[in-house]
Copies of this chain bind each other. A is one copy, B any other.
Amino acid sequence: MSEWEEKTIRTESIYDGNIIQLQVDDVLLPDENISKRELIKHPGAVGIIPITKDNKIVFVKQYRKPLEKALVEIPAGKLEDAEDPQVTARRELEEETGYKAGSLDFVVSFYTSPGFADEIMHLYVTKDIEPLKDALPGDADEFVERVELTLDEAKQYVNEQRIHDAKTNYAILYLERMKEM
């Protein structure tokens, strides 16, 4: 048994959507009191840090409805059922940027918001990319624009909060550190 396990005494499924599910659990706490936990179930996601031959980082700009604004992010997408994250990473890179990846190197996995969601994000980096001959159609409801930036330009985007999300901020810090090693 995990430490301080919170035993579920009742689960209520509130919503079962295309991307997320919401459930509310009544849990028994270590002190025998009962509390509620609001939980988002998510299939998991990947992010890719693609770097071109001339040392530009490939980002995508897209409108993020929860924020009501556009952000510049590394290419990313959610896992289809039980898919190998590398398969998702290659597909999302092709659909969102028109680049095809050779080898991918694993960087890190992390939970994005473990207080209320089980979403896990797997990050990969690759310098081994080539433009696709024929661009693939992306998701029908996704509008993205490719943005290629040097690391210094990307740091400027961070300062201007045009880059403003966990996986992309992590990616930039990761590349800064690699450069110094």
Which chain A residues have a beta carbon within 8 Å of chain B's beta carbons? Answer: 2-6, 14-15, 17-20, 22, 24-25, 27, 29-31, 33, 35-42, 45, 61-71, 73, 76, 78, 108-119, 121, 140-141, 143, 158, 161, 164-170, 173-174, 176-177, 180-181
Residues of B within 8 A of A18 (CB): 36, 38
Residues of B within 8 A of A24 (CB): 15, 17
Q: A30 CA to B25 CA in the complex, in Å?
A: 38
Q: Are A39 and B65 in contact (CB under 8 A)?
A: yes
Q: A161 CA to B122 CA in the complex, in Å?
A: 13
Residues of B within 8 A of A140 (CB): 33
Q: Are B15 and A22 in contact (CB under 8 A)?
A: yes
Nearest residue (CB) in B for A168 is B110
Name 13 extra pairs, CB < 8 A, besides A6-B65, A20-B40. A3-B61, A3-B70, A20-B38, A22-B22, A29-B143, A64-B111, A71-B111, A76-B115, A111-B165, A112-B166, A113-B119, A113-B165, A170-B170
Q: Are B71 and A114 in contact (CB under 8 A)?
A: yes
